[in-house]
């Protein structure tokens, strides 16, 4: 969706196509941390942590990543103005008027996230409230036809079926590993290593970087969490903070070769941009995400400040 909407506009205004493709592919990963996030939900199910708390915890890191992307792009444009030519002929009034169609998204986001944060909704109830709000907005704007409603219900059924199959597999796998006690033995071993816990943490995160070259995000979570989560608890890491760190590393895995899923999605919509150029174009964004990881290690309260104030 982002590629189909944004790339033609960026190319129309003569933006560097490699920068445009890299920006779109990288920004597509932000959905993993900014709620609602399927990866955060799966992490919460596997670790039996509060999904509402986890979703709220991803809010500031997600926006921090977006802000760091903006800073990185601005600095590159400052050094090389040819990457982003100035846009002429569009007034600020026209730009502001063009935002009038996004009010529904803002209302739904405020409804869902505000309900979870204030304790009015559980995450499940917030999803239902969001669906009801979207239905009401569609009816109010007269954009919801019988055909659109049928397609929405069909897509919802397919997605729900896929998610529940994944959850069933997760629960079976976690129960099997719990019986074998392998995760707990590995956690004890890591906790007893004569090195600072942060060194072990960096090793865990580096493992996700390696796995991201060969697996998708859900596969990485299924394979690693039953072992690494008990180890993280033995080392004394906050489970909410650790979950956001893991999810960000999964985001990076969506951009790294050879299995950079987001890159191939953009390539499918924009076949005129060479694949090699796309992988090169995301390198500054991946480095920026490493800076975010470092900031979250140094200042863990960036993750924890919002969930710690929840009702």
204-260 per-position pLDDT tens digit: 898 888 887 777 788 788 888 888 898 888 888 999 999 999 999 988 888 887 777
- Enumerate the H helices of 48-145 as residue ranges: 51-57, 59-79, 92-97, 103-118, 123-140
Distance of CA 194 to the CA centre of its chain: 34
CA pair distance 291, 95, nearest whole angstrom: 32
pLDDT above 70 covers a percentage of the chain that reads 97
pTM of the model: 0.81
Residue 273 banded pLDDT, cuts 50, 70, 90: confident
The number of beta carbons lying within 10 Å of the beta carbon of residue 12 is 9
Q: What is the mean pLDDT of the chain?
A: 85
The count of C-alpha atoms lying within 13 angstroms of the C-alpha of 238, restricted to the half-sphere facing its C-beta, is 19
pLDDT of residue 118: 82
Which distant-in-sequence residues (6+ apart) come within 8 Å of 121 by Cβ?
112, 115, 129
- Find, among 13, 28, 1, 15, the residue nearest to 273 by Cα: 15
Task: Please tell me what DSSP assigns to residue 100.
Answer: G
Spatial neighbors of 34 by CB under 8 A, at least 6 apart, are 58, 59, 62, 63, 66
Give the residue-averaged pLDDT of 107-126.
82
Q: Does position 159 have pLDDT exceeding 80, yes or no?
A: no
The candidate with the shortest Cα–Cα distance to 25, out of 275, 255, 269, 309, is 255
Mean pLDDT of 195-200: 88
């Amino acid at each position: 969706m982002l590629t189909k909407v944004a790339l033609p506009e960026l190319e129309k205004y003569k933006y560097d196509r490699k920068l445009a493709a890299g920006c779109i592919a990288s920004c597509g990963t932000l959905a993993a941390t900014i709620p609602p996030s399927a990866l955060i939900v799966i992490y919460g199910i596997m670790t039996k942590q509060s999904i509402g708390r986890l979703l709220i915890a991803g809010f500031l890191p997600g926006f921090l990543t977006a802000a760091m992307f903006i800073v990185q792009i601005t600095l590159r444009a400052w050094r090389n103005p040819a990457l982003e030519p100035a846009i002429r002929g569009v007034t600020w009034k026209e730009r502001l008027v063009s935002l009038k169609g996004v009010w529904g998204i803002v209302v739904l986001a405020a409804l869902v996230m505000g309900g979870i944060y204030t304790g009015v909704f559980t995450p499940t109830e917030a999803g239902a409230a969001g669906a009801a709000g979207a239905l009401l907005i569609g009816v109010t704007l007269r954009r919801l036809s019988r055909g659109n409603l049928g397609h929405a219900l069909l897509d919802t059924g397919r997605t729900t079926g896929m998610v529940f199959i994944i959850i069933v597999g997760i629960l079976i796998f976690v129960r099997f590993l719990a019986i074998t006690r392998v995760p707990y033995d590995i956690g004890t071993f890591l906790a007893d290593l004569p090195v600072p816990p942060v060194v072990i943490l960096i090793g865990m995160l580096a493992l996700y970087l390696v796995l991201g070259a060969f697996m998708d995000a859900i596969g990485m979570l299924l394979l690693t969490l039953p072992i690494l989560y008990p180890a993280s608890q033995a080392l004394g890491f906050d489970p909410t903070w650790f979950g956001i760190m893991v999810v960000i590393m999964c985001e990076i895995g969506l951009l790294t070769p050879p299995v950079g899923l987001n890159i191939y999605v953009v390539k499918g919509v924009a076949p005129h941009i060479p694949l090699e150029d796309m992988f090169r174009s995301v390198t500054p964004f991946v480095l920026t995400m490493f800076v975010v990881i470092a900031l979250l290690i140094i200042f863990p309260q960036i993750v924890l400040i919002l969930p710690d104030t929840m009702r």
